[in-house]
Amino acid sequence: MNLLARSLSHAFLALALSAAANVVSAADNGLITVQSRYSVKETIARFEAAVKAKESLGFMVFTELDHAAAAAKFGLKMRPRTVIVFGNPKFGTPVMVKTPLLAIDVPPKALVWEDDQGKVWLTYNSAEYLGKVIYARHGLADPPSTPKLAAALAAFADYATK
Band of pLDDT at residue 81, cut at 50, 70 and 90: very high
CA 153 to chain centre: 7
Q: Is the peptide bond preceding residue 80 cis, with omega within 30 degrees of 0?
A: no
Asked whether the predicted pLDDT for residue 2 surpasses 90, the reply is no
CATH of domain 22-161: 3.30.310.70
Q: Is 59 exposed, middle or buried (0-12, 13-18, 19+ CB in 10 A)?
A: buried
Of the candidates 31, 62, 139, which has an alpha carbon nearest to the alpha carbon of residue 95? 139
pTM for this predicted structure: 0.83
Ordered by start, the domain boundaries in the chain are: 22-161
pLDDT of 5-52, one tens digit each? 444 344 333 333 444 444 555 556 999 999 999 999 999 999 999 999
In this prediction, residues 53-60 reach a mean pLDDT of 96
